[in-house]
């Protein structure tokens, strides 16, 4: 009998906060992948001795927002702590963080699983700290860029409630969406502003023990988070099957070979010699203040999804639309331009996304295409008014997608307007029926679905200009007459 294993995963996520200035000094927070190295630094974030940090209120506000969005308790009494370790990107020799008294704790997040169910993941804590500088390795030398040193960082830690790579992926997607909705992070993992580190162990299905875990660092996409988690769960299972044990350690992820690589045997909290930061007073957050911040929270993905459901959208469509804030905003602009909710969702999710996908765009890049939300609303109106039919509308969309421009103009340029010219419709139908006598016989013998085939032929001959209802009506009349003969 082979043992089946399940994963036990707790995620530690580091999110840089999109404040204007850094956590403890006035230097600007910039895109550290493009700014010239060491141009946004000062004695405080360079770790000069004797410099005094000052807490950035905006960073505290953002941390409270995230804490509230994750259903956490917000601590009234906060203490910053020194986490001591040496690394060339950490000039002070310690990082200012929070240890025993995090700003937020005991929360939860509902994740959406691929089978349509939801699952609640406990949030253990979220605390404020500062980011380190960045090492750049060039040939045989290593350079250090301190632009990132002191950027506000929020560490968000889950309970070990995640049971598979798929759940880890769902958690990551939901958390990223919330951070982006809140406007506190761009969600761009490839730039390192959002970093996810899973702690992974495995156990036989049905057991409730917590076995030795490993931590995987430096994952730069949700895809690698999912793959690294799956890889480790499988590896643990194999080790246990062979009677081996897992050693607690830190791994990296080799994107090329799609496997984890041992980095170091795990350090423990005592190695960091945490103690209260003597340069900062405790931070008091009143309940009133928390309520003020709560009032500023934007609508979050779940609330938006429920509102879309109430407009008549399917659960699946609503979830896809809210998964990314850019897409949700775009969709709402289509509605604001007067479109019906369901039709707008169909056009966006089926037609627009298909064209983007073919051109190699991800949904969140919808802002950079030539089609505008108002175009979709206009297109739907043209179809509803009977000016063009659905196929013609798709042709119009093709042209707007390639070149931009207004739907009505394309209808004119391409001559796609429908004609309610009964004479022209009758002429084409007569020709089609004469050319396809066997199909007419089959229809008269009771094969009703032949109508659809004949209808298709007529519509094609009409080059999209015949209104479907008119064709259907005339075709039925003519067929009935033929069968009666």
Q: Name the site residues for Zn ion (rule: CB under 5 A).
A: 25, 27, 42, 44-45
Comparison of 25 and 327: residue with beta carbon closer to Zn ion = 25
Site membership for ligand ADP, residue 6 (CB under 6 A) = no
Among 67, 133, 150, 160, binds ligand ADP (CB under 6 A): 160
Candidate segments 133-141, 151-159, 315-323, 345-353, binder of ligand ADP by CB under 6 A: 151-159
Q: What angle do CA 330, 390, 366 make, to 5 degrees?
A: 20
Which of 199/418 has CB closer to ligand ADP? 199
Q: Which is nearer to Zn ion, 57 or 315 (CB)?
A: 57
Cα 161 to Cα 7, 10, 299, 359: the distances in Å are: 10, 7, 26, 38
The residue among 215 and 255 lying less far from ligand ADP, judged by its C-beta, is 215
- 25's contact among Zn ion, ligand ADP, none, with CB below 5 to 8 A by partner kind, is Zn ion
Q: Does 210 bind ligand ADP (CB under 6 A)?
A: yes
Count the neighbouring beta carbons within 10 Å of the beta carbon of residue 118.
11
Integer Cα distance of 155 and 19 in angstroms: 16
- Min dist. Cβ of residue 161 to ligand ADP (A): 8
Q: Is 345 in the site for ligand ADP (CB under 6 A)?
A: no
Q: Which does 158 bind (CB under 5 to 8 A by kind): ligand ADP, Zn ion, none?
A: ligand ADP
Between 274 and 289, CB nearer to ligand ADP: 274
Q: Which residue is nearest to ligand ADP (CB)?
A: 10
Q: Which is nearer to ligand ADP, 10 or 152 (CB)?
A: 10
Cα dihedral across residues 261, 265, 271, 276: positive or negative: positive
User: Which residue among 92, 105, 213, 465 contacts ligand ADP (CB under 6 A)?
Assistant: 213
Q: Which of 8, 18, 339, 459 binds ligand ADP (CB under 6 A)?
A: 8
Confirm or reject binding of residue 102 to ligand ADP (CB under 6 A): no
Of the candidate spans 3-11, 73-81, 127-135, 329-337, the one that interacts with ligand ADP by CB under 6 A turns out to be 3-11
Q: How big is the site for ligand ADP, counted in residues (CB under 6 A)?
A: 15
Contact partner, 309, from ligand ADP, Zn ion, none, Cβ < 5-8 Å per class: none
- CA gyration radius for the chain? 30
Inter-residue contact 337 to 378 (CB < 8 Å): yes
Contact criterion met (CB below 8 Å) for 388 and 350: no
Q: State the Cα–Cα distance between residues 483 and 346, nearest whole angstrom.
A: 39
Near ligand ADP by CB under 6 A: residue from 37, 71, 134, 159: 159
Any idea how long the chain is? 485
CA 132 – CA 142 distance, rounded (Å): 15
Angle subtended by helix axes 165-182 and 301-310, to nearest 10:
90
Say which entry of ligand ADP, Zn ion, none residue 471 contacts (CB below 5 to 8 A, set by partner kind). none
Instruction: Choose among Zn ion, ligand ADP, none what residue 157 binds, the Cβ cut-off being 5 to 8 Å by kind.
Output: ligand ADP
CA 455/CA 122 separation, integer angstroms: 57
Query: Taking CB under 6 A as the rule, does residue 157 contact ligand ADP?
Result: yes
Find residue 214's DSSP bridge partners: 200
| 79 HSE (CA, 13 A, CB side) | 11
- HSE toward the beta carbon, residue 74, CA cutoff 13 A: 24
Q: Does 416 bind ligand ADP (CB under 6 A)?
A: no
Which of residues 6, 12, 421, 461 is near ligand ADP by CB under 6 A? 12
Own/partner pairs for 253-260, CB < 8 Å, 24+ apart?
A: 253/216, 253/217, 253/218, 253/219, 253/224, 253/227, 253/228, 255/220, 255/224, 258/227, 258/231, 259/231, 260/214, 260/216, 260/228, 260/231, 260/232, 260/235
Nearer to ligand ADP, 11 or 63 (CB): 11
- What 3-state DSSP class applies to 193? coil
- What residues line the site for ligand ADP (CB under 6 A)? 8-12, 157-160, 199-201, 210-211, 213
């Amino acid at each position: 009998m082979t043992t089946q294993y399940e994963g036990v995963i707790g995620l530690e996520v580091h999110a840089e906060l999109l404040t204007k200035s850094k956590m403890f000094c006035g230097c600007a927070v910039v895109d550290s992948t493009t700014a010239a190295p060491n141009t946004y630094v000062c004695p405080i974030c360079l770790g000069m001795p004797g410099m005094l940090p000052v807490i950035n209120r905006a960073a505290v506000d953002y941390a409270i927002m995230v804490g509230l969005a994750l259903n956490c308790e917000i601590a009234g009494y906060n203490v910053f702590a020194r986490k001591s370790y040496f690394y060339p990107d950490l000039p002070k020799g310690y990082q200012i963080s929070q240890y025993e008294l995090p700003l937020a704790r005991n929360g939860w997040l509902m994740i959406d699983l691929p089978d349509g169910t939801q699952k609640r993941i406990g949030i253990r804590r979220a605390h404020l700290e500062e980011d380190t500088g960045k090492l750049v390795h060039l040939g045989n030398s290593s350079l250090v860029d301190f632009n990132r040193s002191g950027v506000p960082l929020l560490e968000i830690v889950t309970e070990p409630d995640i049971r598979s790579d798929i759940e880890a992926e769902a958690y990551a997607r939901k958390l990223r969406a919330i951070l982006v909705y809140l406007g506190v992070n761009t969600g761009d993992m490839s730039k390192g502003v959002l970093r996810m580190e899973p702690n992974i162990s495995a156990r036989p299905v049905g057991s409730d023990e917590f076995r030795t875990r490993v931590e995987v660092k430096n994952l730069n996409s949700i895809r690698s988070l999912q793959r690294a988690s799956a890889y480790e769960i499988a590896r643990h299972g194999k080790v246990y099957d062979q009677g081996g044990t897992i050693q607690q350690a830190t791994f990296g992820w080799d994107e090329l070979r799609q496997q984890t690589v041992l980095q170091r045997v795990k350090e423990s909290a005592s190695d960091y010699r945490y103690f209260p930061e003597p340069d900062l007073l405790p931070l008091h957050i009143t309940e009133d203040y928390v309520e003020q911040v709560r009032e500023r929270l934007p609508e979050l993905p779940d609330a938006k999804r429920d509102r879309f459901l109430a407009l008549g959208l399917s659960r699946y469509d609503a979830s896809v639309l809210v998964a990314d804030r850019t897409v949700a905003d775009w969709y709402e602009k289509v509605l604001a331009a007067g479109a019906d909710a369901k039709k707008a969702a169909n056009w966006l999710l089926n037609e627009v996304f298909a064209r983007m996908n073919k051109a190699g765009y991800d949904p969140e890049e919808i802002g950079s295409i030539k089609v505008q939300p108002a175009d979709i609303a206009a297109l739907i109106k043209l179809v509803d008014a009977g000016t063009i039919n659905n196929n013609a509308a798709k042709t119009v969309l093709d042209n707007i997608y390639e070149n931009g421009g207004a739907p009505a103009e394309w209808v004119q340029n391409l001559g796609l307007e429908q004609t309610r010219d009964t004479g022209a419709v009758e002429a084409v139908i007569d020709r089609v029926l004469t050319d396809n006598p066997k199909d007419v016989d089959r229809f008269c013998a009771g094969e009703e679905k032949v109508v659809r085939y004949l209808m298709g032929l007529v519509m094609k001959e009409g080059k999209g200009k015949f209104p479907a209802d008119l064709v259907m009506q005339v075709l039925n009349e003519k067929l009935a007459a033929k069968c009666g003969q």
